Structure 1
């Protein structure tokens, strides 16, 4: 008894150890995820010794050496800071205020109020009581601040302004400086003129407008010189306009850097073409805007067909009259026309067509049974047509039906058309069958004027069924008993 108990305890411990070993192996295989911790754990003593270095034998040192051991790192830090400080040290230059001699005379500026853009210009000063000493000229303009230096010669001072300084139009501020004193300050304007026009920026749009004189497109003009400076107010730009055989000229005047003109549409369709020309001969490419027809007027529709029988084979062709706007312009190609067909049975059919030279044409297949259609066409939201009525007659008056093989073979046909010919292949024939927990509809299509339904006994058990056969608008109902084949 005791031996069995000890054996059970030993097996239980073994199972626990086995499970622990399996779990250990599982986590051991994933140990690479914890490699930093594993490294420290395996090399604990070496890491601890590295952290304690150089005080591993601290207890063996005497009091003096212990003190030096603490002071040594501090001394190392201080020495390092001293060396870095010496390497990065820069001598401070003290500011010494300079004194300049005073001269009592007026500084005269040679007349200069305007400067041509991009031109090399001389700026002169008269300083009769100043000796030959250097002077500074500070220029504030479109490109920021620039300082020029020159020396007085015989009481006169002349600065040459580089072209690059005065490439932007506007007011420039000049200051003549001697030492730290501003002797003279004045302004001059850098200007351009219509002889410098290098390029004419223009915008013409929208590119499509409607005929009738109520819609318009607008031309905006902004001429600039070679430095992209806008032209001053009053600059003249000539605009040439062409529409069909009509040619016109317009004179625009620049105001606030631009000029604009509205071009209203004509009653006819076509292209409005414009081009611009400056007084110094700079021209532009032509720009165009298309004048499209105005909203269409109501129109009429007609139809043609081979016969009036509902054979589901022929097609009816619908055609609109030529669509025009109120000014007599033919609508542009691609205008979408919707045809809506209301049938006598309450169905709604639709067809679509795009105009070609103002006329839209579409085709619709004949119905499969006698019907009457009411047809109307629309240009959605803009115009509509008259309503036409089309009547379709049934192509047959009889639907031959034969039952064979214990009523399990139902043969429909041959179905004959209005001239005694067989109906087209693909004519739909539907069979609705009810009885013995069955209520379903099957649809098949004729080949050679007839079709055959086979009612297998494994799907339709023996019993009485009501069968409704329908084709080409004719319906027949039969009550038949199905027996074993």
Structure 2
């Protein structure tokens, strides 16, 4: 009985060993990788070599950030070789490969391709090209040193950023990270032009310019200039500003638009405007043709404003003569004499208002010529009747309450 049990145990052990041996043979890999190098430099020739135990057709699937491809092998003496194409080996990054047979993945691995450390070109980007003075605004310089095959050089490579402004020259080192190097360059307090460039391993970029513009303008003052103070409707009054500057004492940019708002004693609003030259804006406006008081305030819209000044205009005409002819249908107003007794310049506005039974029926306007303004009341328009008329010139109003036309 004991002999039978011993024989049975021995049989079981033989079956188990035979099974394990068969499993090992089944799992034995028919191909193995001979190439051990996993790091290359761009432009290196990359070849993957495998040892095969069976005459089987294999292909190599390669993939990187630029695309994928399948490579056929070169077979010799139970070895197969795959030559990686140059359009893949010339690009830095991670190259993944898989050995396939009948679309089945047999082996796989990764190859790291690094760029050449000596750059042959520096791609440089700068923006914005204009920034405000004062130290708050900045422009960004982005630098990408690349090798002869247009690959960005390795991370943590040194790049020197150089910038010059007025009498100051500075050099600041930065390191590339994730393909690029960048630097925020803040504005100085003065306005002007800054020159910026970069250098990497002895290779220099081209020169870039950044305009340092004046910052937001501060409040300013306004002044007035005129030949005389009479309201003759002919002369020019000039309003002008002080030199408008920012908080850092920089003169604001030429062409800044300044608006002058004028409020007269009746509450009406006039407006004139001008652009700055060397920080000063000069705006002109014609004198009123009647006695008035103006209050003027200037605005750099949304940015700054001026003080308020008051300008008075004296009456230029104390009185004038009105004459009626040809059945009162011809009305002559004048002579209109100015402040020294001279004939007032042509163009003074004269208004004639016609009422009937206290209802306004018409308004006529004329401009003076040689010191006179003449109206004609056409009988086809104004029938024979009693009217009321009002004449206004240079702020002087004359009324005729029982005015007969015939």
Correspondence for 1:193:
116
Question: Is the Cα–Cα contact under 8 Å of residues 236 and 254 in structure 1 kept in the other structure?
Answer: yes
> 1:300–1:139: structure 2 CA closer, same or farther, 3 Å change rule?
same
Q: 1:463, 1:178 → 2: CA distance?
A: 118
Q: 1:240 aligns with which of 162, 167, 181?
A: 162
Q: Does 1:251 align with 2:176?
A: no
Q: For 2:383 and 2:33, locate their aligned partners in 1 and report how far apart those are by CA, in whole Å.
A: 127
**Where do 4+ consecutive residues of structure 1 move more than 6 Å?**
102-106, 177-183
Distance 1:306 1:341 in 2: 19
**Which structure would you say has the larger Rg?**
1
Q: CA deviation at 1:183?
A: 6.8
Equivalenced residue count is: 378
Q: CA deviation at 1:232?
A: 2.7
Q: Within 1, Cα distance between the matches of 2:231 and 2:103?
A: 107
- Matched with 1:231 is 153
- Give 1:363's aligned residue: 284
Once residues 326 and 183 of structure 1 are traced to their aligned partners in structure 2, the CA distance between those partners, rounded to angstroms, is: 72
The 3-state SS of whatever aligns with 1:164 is: helix
Aligned residue for 2:73, secondary structure, equals: strand
SS of the aligned residue for 1:165 comes to: helix
Segment drifting more, 329-338 vs 281-290: 281-290
TM-score where L is the length of structure 2: 0.84
The Cα shift of 1:235 comes to 2.0
- Give the counterpart of 1:442 among 364, 368, 381: 364
Q: Residue 457 of structure 1: which of 343, 366, 379 is its match?
A: 379
**Aligned equivalent of 1:166:** 89
Q: Which residue of 1 aligns with 2:272?
A: 351
Q: Are 2:138 and 1:213 aligned?
A: no
Higher RCO (Cα < 8 Å, 6 or more apart) = 2
Whose helix proportion is higher, 1 or 2?
A: 1
Residues 31 and 50 in structure 2, CA contact (< 8 A), matched pair in contact too = no
Matched, 1:466 2:391: no
CA pair 187-408 structure 1, distance change in 2 beyond 3 A: closer
Decide which of 53, 65, 69 is 1:145's aligned counterpart: 69
Per the alignment, residue 42 of structure 2 pairs with 117
Match of 1:323 in 2: 244
Residue of structure 2 equivalent to 1:70: none
**Match of 2:230, SS?**
coil
Report if the CA contact (8 A) 1:172-1:188 is conserved. yes
Is 1:296 the equivalent of 2:217? yes
* Contact persistence 1:240–1:250 (CA under 8 A): yes
Note the alpha carbon deviations across 1:17-38, whole angstroms, 9 max, x for none.
xxxxxxxxxxxxxxxxxxxxxx
User: TM-score under structure 1 normalisation?
Assistant: 0.71
Q: Which runs of 5+ in 1 are unaligned?
A: 1-101
Contact 2:138 2:186 in 1 (8 A): yes
Distance 2:390 2:93 in 1: 95
> Where in structure 2 are there 5+ consecutive unaligned residues?
1-26
Contact 2:46 2:89 in 1 (8 A): no
Secondary structure of the corresponding residue to residue 458 of structure 1: coil
* CA–CA separation in structure 2 for the residues paired with 1:438 and 1:215: 63
Query: Quick check: which one's strand share is greater?
Result: 2
The match for 2:302 is 381
Q: Which runs of structure 2 are paired with 1:40-189 in the superposition (5 Å)?
A: 107=32, 109-125=34-50, 136=58, 138-142=60-64, 143-153=67-77, 158-175=81-98, 185-189=108-112
Q: 1:306 aligns with which of 200, 220, 227?
A: 227
